[in-house]
A and B are shown apart, each in its own frame.
Chain A
Amino acid sequence: MKTVTIDPITRLEGHGKIEIFLDDAGNVADAYLQVPELRGFEKFCQGRPVEEMPRITSRICGVCPEAHLMASAKACDAVYHMDIPRTAKLLRELLYVIFYVTDHTTHFYALAGPDFVVGPDAPKAQRNILGVIHKVGVEIGGKVIRMRGICHELIKKIGGKTVHPVGALPGGMSKGMDKELQKEVLEAGKDAIEFGKFTIQLFNDIVLKNKEYVDLILSDTFTHNTYNMGLVDENNHVNFYDGNIRVVGPDGKEFVKFKPAGYLEHIEEHIEPWSYLKFPFLKKIGWKGFIDGPDSGVYKATPLSRLNVSDGMATPLANEEYDRMYETLGGKPVQQTLATHWARIIEILYAAERWVELASDPEITGPDYRAVPTETPDEGVGVVEAPRGTLYHHYKTDENGIIKEANLIVGTTNNNAPINMSVKKAAQELIKNGKVSDGLLNMVEMAFRAYDPCLGCATHTLPGQMPLIIKIYTNKHELMEEFRRD
Chain B
Amino acid sequence: MAKPKFAVYWAGSCGGCEIAFLDIREKILDFDKAVDLIFCPCIMDTKYKDVEAMSDGEIDVCLFNGVIRNEENLHIAQLLRKKSKVLVAYGSCATEGCIPGLANLTNREEILKYVYEESPSVNNPKKVIPKPKTKVKAGDLTIPAMFEYVRTLEQVVDVDYKMPGCPPVAEQIWTVIEAVLSGKLPEKGSVVGVNPKTVCDECPRTKDEKRVKKFVRPHMVDPADIDPEKCLLEQGIICNGPATLAGCGALCPQVNLGCRGCYGPAEGIQDMGGKLAGGIASIIDSDDPEEIEKIVNQIVDPVGTFYRFNLPSSLLGRKV
Knowing A37-B70, A271-B128, the reply to whether A161 touches B218 (Cβ < 8 A) is: no
Knowing A30-B138, A47-B105, A264-B120, the reply to whether A8 touches B301 (Cβ < 8 A) is: no
* Chain A hits for B170, CB < 8 A: 162
B138's nearest neighbour on chain A, judged by CB, is A21
Knowing A19-B141, A55-B260, the reply to whether A269 touches B122 (Cβ < 8 A) is: yes
Query: Is A252 an interface residue, CB under 8 A from the partner?
Result: no
A456 in contact with B15 (CB, 8 Å)? yes
* Chain A hits for B19, CB < 8 A: 62-63, 163, 457, 460
Question: Interface 1/0s, chain B 122-142, versus A by CB < 8 A?
Answer: 111000111100101111010
A48 in contact with B25 (CB, 8 Å)? no
Query: Is A394 an interface residue, CB under 8 A from the partner?
Result: yes
A467 in contact with B45 (CB, 8 Å)? yes
A167 in contact with B167 (CB, 8 Å)? no
Query: Is A272 an interface residue, CB under 8 A from the partner?
Result: yes
B219 in contact with A170 (CB, 8 Å)? yes
Whole-angstrom CA separation of A303 from B296 in the bound complex: 48
Contact among B16, B100, B120 with A394 in the assembled complex (CB-CB below 8 Å): B120
Query: Is B166 an interface residue, CB under 8 A from the partner?
Result: yes
A163 in contact with B111 (CB, 8 Å)? no
B167 in contact with A407 (CB, 8 Å)? no
Query: Is A372 an interface residue, CB under 8 A from the partner?
Result: yes
Whole-angstrom CA separation of A204 from B74 in the bound complex: 47
Whole-angstrom CA separation of A172 from B256 in the bound complex: 13
Interface residues on A, range: 35 or more
Knowing A15-B41, A38-B130, A44-B103, the reply to whether A275 touches B143 (Cβ < 8 A) is: yes
| Chain A nearest Cβ from B240, distance in angstroms | 12
Question: Interface 1/0s, chain A 385-397, versus B by CB < 8 A?
Answer: 0000000001000
B106 in contact with A44 (CB, 8 Å)? yes
Whole-angstrom CA separation of A485 from B46 in the bound complex: 10
B100 in contact with A458 (CB, 8 Å)? no
B121 in contact with A264 (CB, 8 Å)? yes
Knowing A8-B41, A273-B130, the reply to whether A461 touches B111 (Cβ < 8 A) is: no
Whole-angstrom CA separation of A243 from B253 in the bound complex: 32
A458 in contact with B300 (CB, 8 Å)? no
B43 in contact with A272 (CB, 8 Å)? no
B100 in contact with A39 (CB, 8 Å)? yes
* Chain A hits for B18, CB < 8 A: 62, 457, 460-461
| Chain B nearest Cβ from A211, distance in angstroms | 32
Contact among A274, A373, A465 with B130 in the assembled complex (CB-CB below 8 Å): A274
Knowing A43-B110, A372-B219, the reply to whether A10 touches B16 (Cβ < 8 A) is: no
Query: Is A278 an interface residue, CB under 8 A from the partner?
Result: yes
A409 in contact with B121 (CB, 8 Å)? yes
Query: Is B144 an interface residue, CB under 8 A from the partner?
Result: yes
Query: Is A11 an interface residue, CB under 8 A from the partner?
Result: yes
| Chain B nearest Cβ from A365, distance in angstroms | 14
B301's nearest neighbour on chain A, judged by CB, is A49
* Chain A hits for B260, CB < 8 A: 55
B15 in contact with A373 (CB, 8 Å)? no
Query: Is B23 an interface residue, CB under 8 A from the partner?
Result: yes
* Chain B hits for A59, CB < 8 A: 14, 16, 98-100, 166
A56's nearest neighbour on chain B, judged by CB, is B99
Query: Is B251 an interface residue, CB under 8 A from the partner?
Result: yes
* Chain B hits for A167, CB < 8 A: 255-257
Instruction: From B17, B46, B219, name the one whose CB has the most chain A CB atoms within 10 angstroms.
Output: B219
Query: Is B305 an interface residue, CB under 8 A from the partner?
Result: yes
* Chain B hits for A401, CB < 8 A: 217, 300
Q: Which residues of A contact B (CB under 8 A)?
A: 1, 3, 8, 10-11, 13-15, 17, 19, 21, 23, 29-30, 32, 34-40, 42-49, 51-52, 55-56, 59-63, 65, 76, 145, 148-149, 152, 156, 159-164, 166-167, 169-172, 174-176, 263-264, 267-276, 278, 280, 283, 287, 367, 369-370, 372-373, 394, 400-402, 405, 407, 409, 456-458, 460-463, 465, 467-469, 484-486
